[in-house]
Structure 1
Amino acid sequence: METQACRRVRQSWRGFGDVSTEIRWSIRPQPERRQHQFSYTIRREIVRIFLQLTLPPNSKSMKKNLKDYLMALFWKWVSRCKETDCRRGYQLLSGLAASVILSACSVAPGMRMTTPPTLPLTSGDAQTPPVDLQVPIVDINTALIRKMRDEVGQPTAVESNKLFSNTSGYTLGVGDVLQITVWDHPELAVAQGMQQTQTNVQRSTDPAAGFIIERDGTVRFPYAGKIAVRGLQVGEAQDRIAAALKRVFENPQVTVRVASYRAKEVYVDGQVRSPGVVSITDIPMTLYEAITRAGGLADSADQSRLILVRDGVSYQLDLAKMLARGENPSKIVLQNGDLLRVVSRDESGVYVMGEVNKPSTAYPLRTGALTLSEALAQAGSINSNSADAAQLYVIRSSQGTNPEVFHLDARSPVSMILANEFQLQPKDVVYVDGSGLVRFSRVLSLLLPAINAGLTAAIVTK
């Protein structure tokens, strides 16, 4: 049976978590002749833990069991030692505490950038070991800034070849409404239908007065019959209708105009003031024309992230980069069925975490530009009390294919020149690592309550 002192010590350690199965809590009093063996066992256990601390630790097991090892040894020693063993135990446990303190950085809580950084590809199983992808670390310097600036200035073949095109005249399509006038024959004007008046209000969905091009691409006109006009320009359709009327009228003078454009449309979505359907007219539907007719860009629009979907293919458009390369976005002509989406700046945020004053999400400007210095400024700058300014990292996923890590030594304020030139990309992670002294302090704050409780239990037991 356990003594009353042992029970008091056991209660003093209650609430600190489970203890590893390698050290058993339940210890019964042993005969006097086995006290030396007990001291040897305690010393051997402490030496084994010390050797584990001096080797590269397994962070998962060490963080979980380190406190349990220390508490179990305290309880073993307090509940069974005599005066000589107590002095030895004080010395051994003091050495163990010193080793724990010296190894504080390796078991410190929180995130910490390891070198070299790795990304797990597979977890592995009993037969195959886990596979990690080593991520390279690139220093941010003037050479890197110059290289990234040159890459931005290079034109993209996709935009130049497929989206930039010459404008052509409007061709008629199914659903367009034509206004056909035959001069000196006013009786034919009645066939076009009634015009909109105050007493006869026309709904927005109703077609304008005129002749509608039917699904087979033809238009019906008195004395001319069915005339195929789909795919023709207005002038070509006018000549064809006049030729059909020559069978009835002598040298008819015909004028054709489009009363309502309904055959071709583009869709503008996202951060514009009036999203919806925009009809293509005789004015070429350029990129700027579509945005203007949709009410213009909203304040939350990201001008660097416009997505144009055509024939099932998405094209990324960056207006700021196109202007920097000398490319005119107005030369991009939209086609029937195109979808233009303007992305919000909220979807282009950069995550700033670590030892900064206000960990948050930094958002780019309206042009889509966001530098490293601007992101740090939005996060309240680097925390001068806990940050290691030499360990500033930018983690970029590159859509999960080739992750990259960029490193900046920001101990000198001059390094902010490089930070002000380093352009961030959407979903980048800016991480500021903590200093070794801060990690040391955090480990002490976790261990000192356990050590104080153990010393208190020792005093109460005696």
Structure 2
Amino acid sequence: MTLAACMIAPGMRMSTSATGASTGVKETAGKSGASAAPASGESSSGNPADEATSNSSQKADATQATPEVPVTELDIGVVKRLREERVATQHQQAMLLGNVPSPYAIGIGDVLQVVVWDHPELAAASAVAPSQSQSRPADPSPGFVVDQSGDITFPYAGTIHVVGLRPEEVQKRLVATLGKYFVKPQVTVRMASYRAHEVYVDGAVHTPGSVALNDVPMSLYEAVSRAGGFADTADQSDLVLVRGGETHRINMTQMLASGLAPSRLYLKAGDMLRVTARDENDVYVMGEVNKPISAIPQRNGRITLADALSQAGSVNATTADAAQMFVIRGALDSKPQVFHLDGRSPVAMLVAKEFDLQPKDVVYVDGSGLVRFSRVLSLLLPAINAGMTAGILAK
């Protein structure tokens, strides 16, 4: 009886209990927040006993600090369903961010080059002389700079409000005004420098900073390219786009795998794009593994359960219980999740290879009951030996 009681002695392990209800709890998966219900028609081990376990709903036992969380049994059906949900979410995201922005409109700080043919003397009225060389990159190009009121001043035409207009619209206004002083004036208006509208690229790129928008709609690829390209530490599966107070997480790796082109995602003025570093999106592998570690995603940003276990040196063959592998996700979310994988079957490794982990997931491999029993004995034996020694000495 004493030895049996040792089996419930304190130790690092994860316990679950049946809820008595059939599976129907929706689970959220993927960085995009898609949801899927646990599959009930497939089992990782392929035998009736494991299939019955997969079909029965379980929950992680609650403590005072943690709530009860439904446990989802991982199998091929769950992995496929989660992937389909991610693809559907990515298509919705592509439709939301794939709208081509409206044509470029002149803004405050832009520089216009205005040429009136056969009247070169009018070019001398520009704020910066054409022959003047730029001493600093921030200096405006030669031309007429749009002031803080959104106006430019041109000879004979006076002050013209140009903010919100396109160059061809400014040209028509100048022709109409200069026509009062010149016979059929030939006017050319072009953008000399784009400085009014910018997007900001930060994070794991070579040259973070502001990127000016021009008359060609800026795609996601172009913004990263003009910021120097991805750094070696960049996580291409986690790009954070902040627009109008809303945050969109873009997974370029999964988009490409789904046949979607990230080059068709366009940025708008004022957008903030941050490329996350891979070491910020690590996952934790602990329990009965050979080397507990904080696993880092691959260069494409993807990390599966099999990748994480491989980086941790695989499970400990002498102490691990292969039937008790858990993935804990979303501790601060309103609906945290726990996934369970029975790794006793070779088919389970196919599931582990295709199950994508999310940043800050916790992978825990539980120990076998015999190992816990052995550890309890190792704690009791010194006390037993000390008691026996004391008894001998007392005699």
Q: Normalising by the residue count of structure 2, what TM-score does the alignment of the two structures yield? A: 0.84
> Residue 22 of structure 1 aligns with which residue?
none
- Residue 113 of structure 1 pairs with residue 113 of structure 2: no
- Checking the alignment, whether the CA contact within 8 Å between 1:196 and 1:202 is kept in structure 2 is no
- Checking the alignment, whether the CA contact within 8 Å between 2:75 and 2:348 is kept in structure 1 is no
- Checking the alignment, whether the CA contact within 8 Å between 2:100 and 2:217 is kept in structure 1 is no
The structure 2 residue matched to 1:211, chosen from 144, 157, 180, is: 144
> Residue 150 of structure 1 aligns with which residue?
84
Measure, in 1, the Cα distance between the counterparts of 2:241 and 2:134: 38
Counterparts of residues 14-413 of structure 1 (less than 5 Å): 99-109=1-11, 111-116=12-17, 117-120=60-63, 133-156=67-90, 159-192=93-126, 193-195=128-130, 202-397=135-330, 399-413=332-346
- How far is 1:158 from its partner? 5.5
- Residue 444 of structure 1 pairs with residue 377 of structure 2: yes
- Checking the alignment, whether the CA contact within 8 Å between 1:302 and 1:342 is kept in structure 2 is yes
- Checking the alignment, whether the CA contact within 8 Å between 2:284 and 2:363 is kept in structure 1 is yes
Residue 400 of structure 1 aligns to a residue whose secondary structure is coil
Question: When you count strand as a share of all residues, which structure comes out higher?
Answer: 2
Measure, in 2, the Cα distance between the counterparts of 1:431 and 1:412: 18
How many residues align? The count is: 352
Cα RMSD (Å) of the superposition?
1.9
- Checking the alignment, whether the CA contact within 8 Å between 1:153 and 1:324 is kept in structure 2 is no
- How far is 1:204 from its partner? 1.8
- Checking the alignment, whether the CA contact within 8 Å between 1:108 and 1:439 is kept in structure 2 is no
Measure, in 1, the Cα distance between the counterparts of 2:87 and 2:141: 48
Measure, in 1, the Cα distance between the counterparts of 2:73 and 2:136: 64
1:373-395: CA deviation from partner (whole Å, max 9, x where unpaired): 11100000011111111111111
Amino acid at match of 2:224: I
Amino acid at match of 1:327: L
1:104-142: CA deviation from partner (whole Å, max 9, x where unpaired): 221143x1111222344x67xxxxxxxx63222222112
1:298-350: CA deviation from partner (whole Å, max 9, x where unpaired): 12111121111111111111112323333322222211111011111112111
Residue 200 of structure 2 aligns to a residue whose secondary structure is strand
- How far is 1:261 from its partner? 0.8
1:413-450: CA deviation from partner (whole Å, max 9, x where unpaired): 34211211111111111111111121111111111111
Measure, in 1, the Cα distance between the counterparts of 2:362 and 2:150: 55
1:2-44: CA deviation from partner (whole Å, max 9, x where unpaired): xxxxxxxxxxxxxxxxxxxxxxxxxxxxxxxxxxxxxxxxxxx
- Checking the alignment, whether the CA contact within 8 Å between 2:94 and 2:265 is kept in structure 1 is no
- How far is 1:157 from its partner? 7.1
Measure, in 2, the Cα distance between the counterparts of 1:413 and 1:149: 21
Task: Give the stretch that moved more between structures: 281-290 or 377-386.
Answer: 281-290
- How far is 1:259 from its partner? 1.2
> Residue 62 of structure 1 aligns with which residue?
none
Measure, in 2, the Cα distance between the counterparts of 1:352 and 1:441: 23
Residue 444 of structure 1 aligns to a residue whose secondary structure is helix
Task: Give the stretch that moved more between structures: 381-390 or 316-325.
Answer: 316-325
- Checking the alignment, whether the CA contact within 8 Å between 1:145 and 1:418 is kept in structure 2 is yes
Amino acid at match of 1:114: S
Measure, in 2, the Cα distance between the counterparts of 1:214 and 1:352: 58
CA distance 1:377–1:273, shift in 2 (3 Å) = same
- Checking the alignment, whether the CA contact within 8 Å between 1:155 and 1:325 is kept in structure 2 is no
Residue 8 of structure 2 aligns to a residue whose secondary structure is helix
Residue 267 of structure 2 aligns to a residue whose secondary structure is coil
- Checking the alignment, whether the CA contact within 8 Å between 1:210 and 1:259 is kept in structure 2 is yes
Measure, in 1, the Cα distance between the counterparts of 2:257 and 2:225: 22
Question: When you count helix as a share of all residues, which structure comes out higher?
Answer: 1
Task: Give the stretch that moved more between structures: 213-222 or 158-167.
Answer: 158-167
Which consecutive residues of structure 2, in runs of 5 or more, have no partner in the other structure? Answer: 18-59
Amino acid at match of 2:5: S
Q: Name the larger-Rg structure.
A: 1
1:90-112: CA deviation from partner (whole Å, max 9, x where unpaired): xxxxxxxxx43332221143x11
Q: Normalising by the residue count of structure 1, what TM-score does the alignment of the two structures yield? A: 0.72
- How far is 1:453 from its partner? 1.0
- How far is 1:398 from its partner? 6.3
Which consecutive residues of structure 1, in runs of 5 or more, have no partner in the other structure? Answer: 1-98, 124-131
Residue 274 of structure 2 aligns to a residue whose secondary structure is strand
Measure, in 1, the Cα distance between the counterparts of 2:131 and 2:320: 72
- Residue 458 of structure 1 pairs with residue 391 of structure 2: yes
> Residue 434 of structure 1 aligns with which residue?
367
CA distance 1:107–1:208, shift in 2 (3 Å) = same
